[in-house]
């Protein structure tokens, strides 16, 4: 059945027998839908999470097809404030989003729940429908796995009536989901736990206070502490220099655009002027030997001015950023120091996902500014995924006309299906793209700040936006020109394979066995390469994604899909096939001996893409490590001379050794491990925080700071696994594999990051800890020693040195850098304070020193907290941003 026919069948199934049940005109399904959209309230809540599952629920789960009988129940409450909806009024359906597969309505046989695709579901009345009474109707839903954070729930329910028009239920049309959900612990105080053996500590006012008291930095002197820290730094005088009169640049050997970027940052911080000069020149022969490498520099700040000598243009730019980094923008003071510095890694990157939810050019320009300020130099743009295509490609307008938008069009001729809480209207966070002008502007802006832009078009999996767009193109052109219609088609129309991707799509893979797929890939590469050339930064690396191209549900074992949840299963065994297993085009390749089986297709696809990349004169191809895991020798099997992989699997599941195994094969490695470097993970174990948590229940700034990219096994000694328990890591690979690690990268995936403000909340301040580790190797980071094992019981790591280093970093962060982020308009996460009652007084603390803390008392007003005069009672506590203009999340006491 084709996509259009399937969509029509689904819609018909949802609406029931219209002729038999259609009410009078005044009570049509269209009228009912309009009233539901305008008047109904909707609220969701977790009822029973997996850790508290009953035997009956486990049996229901197993019968429904849930993986390993791992299910939970949640509820959808419909609040009808008006007249009842009659049992004969069935010509409508409610659509909703769920990141957990939902199998059934347990307590009401009058509703069917159907998965449309991905996370989009339809809730429709059937022949047993008894109506919706005035007041509240509670529907108990059976779902797979669990929901532990409130951000698992999605907004923007919508209702469709007999006319096929979609209307958002007004009460759900918000990105502030607090009003749409009950607390995770509403029905059971243990519902925040994943299993009964969960050892995590729930973040409460009391537990935060205890934690902060143990690890919070002392009020150390951080006036001369750089972020990221310099290789060598010496203080020349105790008194800082007053730079209130402003700083002026005297630069030689630096491009004008880079000089203007530095001046723009000084102006942003209110420090542009002519009272204090900084002279910068490129003169590598004048540098100490250690700094004679790309990005190296020497900087001296004195009472009358500053001088910097750099190895190259990048070093000159970083010298200026270091001087700005030393500045106290509030006090207009600059410490007097001598610095010799250079980067530890050539690759210091950050990846932002624009596919799942779009983030604007304005936000990306702001991100580039902050990456430059902290010396990150690779911006990896995830420009496509199942849920969206985000870059204009001349000659293929359907990619943005259809693939960049979400709306309610079951045939998907105008847009993609709604996903991830976007709702049915095309003006939503799930819609948007970068025009060719936008992209060129971003590349040029990044280039002026010594940041390389690395575009990623994810394939052959995660390609649904492209597949649907090219199918819309095919249908549009078919009657006019069949050859043109088929030129860039991405599916084998005879392929009858039933599969389900990790994100629950049934049509999200392009076919690697047909020539038109490679014409498409080459077309996209060539057009993006042209944009780079026009922007003045030649395309140096192509990232083809490649991840999750093996169907985890078809895998014989969990080891075939590392990093994924071993509990995932499938409701229908017919979906457990490897994609393309019933494609005649692929069978033809097998028969010809080109591939052994469909299992070999991800490797074959990587080889073909590398040939296209190399033919375009691009030296480097990149992929997520599982996209190249079946390649045994990149030198022998790939056409590109340089091949990098992002090692993303969680360290707690052996991701560190798996990555080094790829290095041993000959791949260069970019450390990107999800349990430390994925910034879509929540900041703490609090259901109120947002984020996915399959790899880690929390990743705060300190955890990222503690990451050791050249010896990841040591993390088992200083961190806990997803369930809060201890874990063990072995150093099994030869130490020589470490030499293939060229850098590290942080990631922000956007499934539950719908707005730019939420993206900034998730990225900052963790980005600064990422920059610290990518630029500077700390003394507590151990060398990799083959055969060494780490766990909570070993004592190889100098924890005192780690703690001292963290205190220095956090003090500089809170006292200097947060205020700079405020001036730049960055909506970083203000931490949630801890609090407890001690000796009849309320004590409040925070993870970083110097933050302004407040408490709410009985008069309904917020008051500044002083440890010298603490209140006797308080209703809630909160912290403020460094400039005092923005409050973090408050918590009740």
Q: 862-864 and 232-242: which strand pairing? A: unpaired
Q: Please state at what angle helix 515-535 crosses helix 601-615, rounded to 10 degrees.
A: 40
Distance CA 271, CA 264 (A): 10
> Which residues neighbour 564 within 8 Å (Cβ) at sequence distance 6 or greater?
502, 548, 552, 558, 694
Distance CA 278, CA 286 (A): 17
Q: Which two tokens stand for residue 128?
A: 């047993």
Q: Please state at what angle helix 3-15 crosses helix 464-477, rounded to 10 degrees.
A: 100
CA angle 541, 542, 545 (to 5 degrees): 135
Whether omega for the bond prior to residue 96 falls within 30 degrees of 0, making it cis, is no
Distance CA 141, CA 146 (A): 12
> Using CA atoms in the order 859, 861, 865, 868, what is the torsion angle rounded to 10 degrees?
-30
Tell me, rounded to whole angstroms, the distance of Cα 890 from its chain centroid: 25
Evaluate whether 874 touches 857 at the Cβ level (below 8 Å). yes
Distance CA 444, CA 452 (A): 10
Tell me, rounded to whole angstroms, the distance of Cα 808 from its chain centroid: 28
Q: Of 75, 398, 548, 751, which residue is the catalytic one?
A: 548
Q: Which two tokens stand for residue 401?
A: 């006309």
Evaluate whether 672 touches 650 at the Cβ level (below 8 Å). no
Evaluate whether 315 touches 322 at the Cβ level (below 8 Å). no
Other C-beta atoms closer than 10 Å to the C-beta of 185 total 16
Residue ranges of E strands in 275-401 = 276-282, 297-301, 306-310, 333-341, 347-353, 378-382, 384-385, 388-389
Residue ranges of E strands in 169-263 = 232-242, 247-251
Q: 388-389 and 834-838: which strand pairing? A: unpaired
- 457-488: buried (b, 16+ CB within 10 Å) or exposed (e) per residue? bbbbbbbbbbbbbbbbbbbebeeeeeeebbbb
Closest C-alpha to 755, from 487, 467, 438, 422: 422
Tell me the CA distances in angstroms from 553 to 96, 146, 578, 781, 842, one per residue in order: 24, 18, 8, 38, 52
- 358-396: buried (b, 16+ CB within 10 Å) or exposed (e) per residue? bbbbebbebbbbbbbbbbbbbbbbbbbbbbbbbbbbeeb
CA angle 74, 80, 82 (to 5 degrees): 175
Q: Please state at what angle helix 313-326 crosses helix 361-373, rounded to 10 degrees.
A: 90
Whether omega for the bond prior to residue 243 falls within 30 degrees of 0, making it cis, is no
Residue ranges of E strands in 500-579 = 541-545
Evaluate whether 470 touches 518 at the Cβ level (below 8 Å). no
CA angle 249, 445, 244 (to 5 degrees): 30
Q: Which two tokens stand for residue 736?
A: 């020589």
313 is catalytic: no
Q: For 264-299, what is the HEC assignment?
A: HHHHHCCCECCCEEEEEEECHHHCCHHHCCCCCEEE
Distance CA 389, CA 404 (A): 5
**Tokens 């599941």 sit at which residue?**
653
Q: Which residues are catalytic?
A: 548
């Amino acid at each position: 059945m084709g996509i259009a026919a399937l969509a029509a069948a689904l819609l018909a199934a949802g609406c029931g027998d219209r002729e038999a049940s259609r009410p009078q005109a005044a009570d049509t399904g269209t009228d009912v839908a309009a009233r539901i959209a305008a008047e109904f309230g909707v609220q969701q809540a977790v009822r029973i999470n997996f850790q508290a599952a009953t035997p009956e629920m486990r049996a229901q789960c197993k019968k429904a097809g849930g993986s390993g009988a791992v299910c939970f129940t949640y509820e959808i409450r419909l609040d009808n404030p008006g007249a009842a909806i009659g049992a004969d009024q069935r010509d409508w359906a409610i659509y909703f989003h769920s990141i957990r597969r939902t199998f059934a309505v347990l307590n009401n046989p009058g509703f069917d729940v159907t998965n449309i695709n991905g996370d989009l579901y339809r809730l429709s009345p059937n022949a047993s429908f008894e109506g919706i009474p005035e007041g509240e109707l509670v529907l108990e839903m059976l779902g797979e796995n669990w929901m532990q954070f409130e951000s698992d729930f999605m907004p923007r329910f919508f209702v469709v009536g007999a006319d096929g028009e979609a209307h958002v239920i007004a009460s759900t049309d918000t990105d502030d989901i607090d009003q749409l959900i009950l607390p995770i612990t509403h029905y059971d105080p243990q519902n925040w736990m994943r299993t009964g053996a969960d050892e995590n500590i729930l973040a409460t006012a009391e537990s935060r206070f205890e934690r902060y008291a143990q690890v919070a930095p002392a009020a150390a002197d951080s006036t001369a502490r750089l972020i990221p820290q310099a290789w060598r730094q010496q203080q020349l005088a105790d008194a800082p220099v007053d730079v209130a009169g402003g700083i002026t640049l005297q630069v030689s050997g630096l491009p004008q655009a880079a000089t203007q970027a530095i001046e723009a940052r000084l102006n942003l911080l209110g420090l542009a002027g002519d009272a204090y000069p900084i002279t910068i020149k490129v003169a590598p022969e004048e540098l100490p030997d250690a700094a004679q490498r790309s990005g190296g520099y020497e900087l001296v700040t004195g009472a009358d001015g500053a001088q910097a000598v750099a190895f190259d243009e990048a070093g000159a730019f970083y010298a200026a950023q270091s001087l700005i980094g030393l500045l106290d923008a509030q006090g207009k003071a600059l410490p007097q120091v001598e610095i010799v510095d250079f980067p530890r890694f050539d690759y210091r990157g950050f990846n932002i996902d624009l596919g799942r939810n779009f983030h604007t050019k304005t936000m990306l320009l702001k991100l580039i500014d902050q990456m430059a300020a902290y010396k990150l130099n690779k911006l990896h743009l995830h420009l496509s995924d199942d849920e969206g295509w985000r870059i204009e490609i001349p000659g293929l307008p359907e990619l943005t006309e259809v693939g960049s938008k979400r709306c309610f069009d079951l045939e998907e001729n105008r847009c993609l299906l709604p996903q991830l809480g976007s709702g049915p209207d095309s003006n939503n966070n799930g819609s948007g793209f970068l025009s060719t002008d936008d992209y060129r502007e971003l590349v040029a802006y990044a280039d002026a700040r010594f940041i390389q832009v690395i575009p990623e078009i994810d394939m052959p999996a995660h390609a649904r936006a492209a597949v649907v767009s090219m199918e819309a193109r095919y249908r549009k052109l078919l009657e006019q020109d069949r050859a043109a219609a088929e030129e860039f088609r991405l599916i084998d129309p005879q392929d009858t394979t039933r599969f389900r991707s990790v994100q629950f799509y049934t049509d999200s893979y392009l076919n690697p066995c047909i020539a038109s797929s490679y014409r498409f890939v080459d077309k996209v590469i060539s057009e993006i390469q042209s944009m780079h050339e026009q922007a003045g930064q030649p395309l140096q690396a192509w990232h083809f994604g490649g991840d999750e191209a093996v169907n985890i549900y078809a895998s014989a074992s969990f080891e075939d899909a590392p990093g994924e949840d071993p509990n995932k299963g499938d409701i229908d065994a017919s979906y457990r096939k490897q994609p393309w297993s019933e494609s005649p085009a692929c069978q033809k390749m097998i028969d010809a001996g080109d591939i052994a089986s469909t299992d070999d297709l991800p490797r074959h696809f990587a080889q073909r893409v590398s040939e296209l990349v190399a033919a375009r004169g691009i030296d480097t191809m990149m992929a997520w490590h599982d996209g190249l895991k079946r390649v045994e020798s990149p030198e022998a099997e790939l056409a590109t001379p340089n091949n990098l992989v992002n090692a993303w699997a969680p360290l707690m599941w052996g991701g560190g050794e798996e990555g080094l195994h790829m290095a041993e094969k000959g791949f260069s490695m970019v450390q990107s491990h999800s349990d430390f470097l994925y910034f879509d993970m929540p900041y703490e174990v609090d259901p109120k925080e947002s984020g996915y948590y399959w790899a880690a229940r929390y990743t705060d700034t300190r955890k990222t700071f503690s990451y050791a990219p050249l010896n990841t096994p040591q993390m088992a000694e200083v961190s806990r696994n997803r369930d809060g328990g201890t874990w063990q890591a072995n150093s099994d690979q030869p130490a020589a594999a470490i030499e293939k690690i060229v850098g590290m990268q942080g990631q922000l995936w956007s499934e539950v990051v719908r707005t730019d403000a939420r993206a900034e909340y998730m990225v900052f301040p963790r980005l600064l800890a990422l920059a610290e580790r990518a630029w500077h190797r700390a003394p507590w980071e151990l060398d990799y020693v083959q055969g060494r094992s780490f766990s909570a019981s070993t004592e190889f790591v100098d924890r005192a040195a780690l703690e001292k280093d963290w205190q220095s970093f956090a003090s500089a962060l809170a006292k200097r850098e947060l205020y700079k982020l405020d001036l730049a308009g960055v909506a970083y996460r203000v931490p949630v304070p801890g609090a407890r009652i001690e000796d009849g007084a309320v004590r409040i603390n925070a993870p970083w020193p110097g933050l302004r803390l407040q408490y709410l008392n009985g008069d309904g007003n917020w008051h500044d907290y002083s440890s010298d005069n603490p209140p006797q009672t308080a209703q809630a506590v909160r912290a403020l941003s460094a400039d005092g203009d923005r409050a973090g999340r408050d918590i009740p006491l």
